[in-house]
Amino acid sequence: MRVICNGNSEKNISLLKKSSIFLFIIVVIIFFIGSCTKSNNFSIGENFLDSQTGVKLLDTFRVGLSTVILDSLKTSGTGIALVGKYSDSIFGSISSKSYFEFAYPTDKFNETDVFDSANFILCYSKYYYGDTTSLMTLNIHQLTKQITLDENTGYRYNTDSMVLASVLATKVFHPRPKSADTIVTVPINSFGEQIFNLIKNNDEVVSTSDLFFEYMKGFAITGETGTGNSVIGFKADEKHIFMNIYYHAPSNDIVAKTYKISFYNNVASSSSNSSYQFNHIHYNISKTAFSNIKGTGNILPSSVTDNRAFLQGLIGLLPKIQFPTLQNLIFENHWKILKAELVIAPVLPSFAYFKLPGKLYLWETDKENQMNSQLVDSRSEAIVSTLYIDDLYNEDTRYTFDITSYINKEASDLFYNSDNGLLVSLNTTDLISTFTRMAIEDKNPVVKLRLYYLTY
C-alpha cells in the first residue's frame, strides 16, 4: 500500500477523533432508544384507521336444559363400599348395599386350638352422604349365590342386585366417619365359629378355593333397617375389610391368637378395575320433580321439572345442555366465534345442606343421551369448570365452561343435529363412587351461552 507519510502521531490523533465520533453516535442512539414509547402503547394515527373488525357479545342465545338419567353406572372396583340410605324431597330416596367376597384362607388351625370370638372389621373411607348424627343399623348378610361379572363388560353396575340370605350379624351405632374412629367392629361369633371349625377339621368345603367360594358365596353389607338417614363409605380392599377369628391354644400360658380372612380383590378380567366388589344403588324418585323421567326416554326438559335440571352421582342423573338454534349461526357470513362460554348457576337451596361439586366436566352426547366422549380443549385437556362462589351476595355463584372448540366444531358442520348436546358431569371417579348432587337453575338466572364473536 502506498502511504503518503505525514507522521504517525498525527494519524493517531485523527484515529482517536474518529473513534470518539463513533462512540458519541452510539451513546446518542442508545439514549434515543431508551426514551421511546413502547410499541405496544403507540396510538398516534387513530383517525387514519378504518376499522373492519368488531367483537361483540351475544348472550341471548337460546340454550336448552334438561335432565337425563343414565341406564346404569359401573360400580365394581371403585374401592369404596357404600352402605345406608337417605331421602329428601328434591332428589328422592336412595339406598346403597355393598357386595364383596372373602379370599380363600390357606392357614390352618391346630387340632387343639380353641375358638374365642369373631369380628367383622370395616374401615371408614371418610366419605359420607347425609345426616351422620342419626343412629345406623348395619347388617351383614351372606349371599345365596356367588358374585359373577357381566359376561360382556366384566363389570357390575349400580342397578345390579342379588338375593340375600338371612342376617349374619348386626350392629347399631353412631357412625363417626369424620372423627378419629377408623373402624367399625361387628361381632359375628356364630358364623366365625362355624368357619373356625371347618378349617380346623379340614372340611371338604375348605379343601380347595373353588369349594370355599361355593360355600362362602359372598357378603352384602346393608344399612336399610332402622332410622338412619345417611350413607357411609368404607374402604373396600384387602387391607380394610376382613374377618378376625380370635382363638387360643390350650396351655399353661394362654396366648390369644388372631386368624384373618381378608376381602378378595379378585381381578377376573384384564381390566384392573374389575372386582367382585360393587355397590347396588336403589333409588325412589316418585316424589321428585323428575319422577317420570324413565317414562319419557330417560330425558325431561327443565320446563317440566320446575325450571331446573338435576345432577347426582351413582344414580346417573345428569343435566343436558342443547343449542337448538346453533344451526342459524352456521349460515352467518363474516362471523367467527372467538369464545363461547357456558355459564350455569346452581339452585341455591341445593347446597344449603350438601356441598356443591368443586369441579364439573362436560361430555358430548346425542339423542341416545349417553356420555359419548369427554369434552377437551385444543390441547386435548379436559374442559373443567371450577365453582365460583359469590361469598358477598350469594347471587352470582356459578360454573363457567369455555366451550369454544365444541361450538366451533359443531358450527363447522353444515348440518347441526339439535339432539346433540353436552352432559354436565362430575369427574368420572366421583360419578361412580359418590352421591354428589346439584340442581341447576334455568329461570333466574337461565343457563347462558355467551358468544364472543368477530365480525369482519
- Number of Cα atoms under 13 Å in the Cβ half of residue 236: 32
Least spacing, CB of residue 48 vs another protein, in Å: 5
Spatial CA neighbour of 133 closest among 229, 235, 233, 232:
229
Q: Which is nearer to another protein, 112 or 455 (CB)?
A: 455
- Closest separation in Å from C-beta 41 to another protein: 6
Provide the minimum distance between the beta carbon of 395 and another protein in the complex, in angstroms, as a whole number.
19
Residue reference for cell 498525527: 10
Residue 22: CB minimum distance to another protein, A: 9
Closest approach of Cβ 325 to another protein, in Å?
A: 18
| ∠ CA 29-30-33, rounded to 5° | 85
Could you tell me where the DSSP H helices lie in 268-369?
Answer: 326-330
Looking at beta carbons only, is 327 or 408 nearer to another protein? Answer: 408
Distance CA 93, CA 90 (A): 9
Minimum distance, C-beta of residue 44 to another protein, in the bound complex (Å): 5
Residues with Cβ within 8 Å of 85's Cβ and at least 6 positions away in sequence, in order, are 93, 94, 95, 96, 223, 224, 228, 229, 230, 231
Minimum CB distance to another protein, residue 343 (Å): 14
Least distance between another protein and beta carbon 50 (Å): 8
Residues lying near another protein in the complex (CB under 8 A) are found at: 1, 3-4, 6, 14, 18, 25, 29, 32-33, 35-37, 39-59, 336-339, 378, 404, 408, 452, 454, 456
Residues paired with residue 257 on neighbouring β-strands, in sequence order = 247
Task: Compare residues 294 and 409 and give the one whose CB is closer to another protein.
Answer: 409
Give the phi and the psi of residue 207 in degrees, each rounded to 5.
-80, -30
Please report where in the chains the cell 363457567 appears, as a residue: 400
C-alpha cell at 448: 347462558
Cβ count within 10 A of residue 231? 26
Residue whose CB is less far from another protein, 43 or 227: 43
Q: How far is the CB of 388 from another protein (least distance, A)?
A: 17
Q: How many other CB atoms sit within 10 Å of the CB of residue 87?
A: 14
Residue 31 CB, shortest distance to another protein, in Å, is 9
Of the two residues 49 and 255, which places its CB atom closer to another protein in the complex?
Answer: 49
In terms of CB distance, is 28 or 389 closer to another protein?
28
Q: b/e string for 357-373 if b means 16 or more Cβ within 10 A?
A: beebbbbbbeeebebee
Closest CB to another protein among residues 43, 252: 43
Distance of closest approach, residue 92 Cβ to another protein, in angstroms: 41
Question: Residue for cell digits 349365590?
Answer: 145
Q: Which is nearer to another protein, 249 or 454 (CB)?
A: 454
Nearer to another protein, 29 or 135 (CB): 29
Report how far residue 8's alpha carbon sits from residue 5's, in angstroms, rounded to the nearest whole number: 8
- Nearest Cα neighbor of 214 from 230, 203, 225 is 203
Q: List the grid coordinates of 271.
A: 381390566
| Helix or strand holding residue 454 (H, E) | strand 448-455
Residue 54 or 250: which CB sits closer to another protein? 54
414 close to 18: Cβ distance less than 8 angstroms:
no
Q: Measured over all CA atoms, what is the biggest interatomic distance in the chain, rounded to whole angstroms?
A: 126
Residue closer to another protein by CB (options 49, 163) is 49
Cell of 254: 394362654
Q: How many CA atoms lie within 13 A of 266 on its CB side?
A: 21
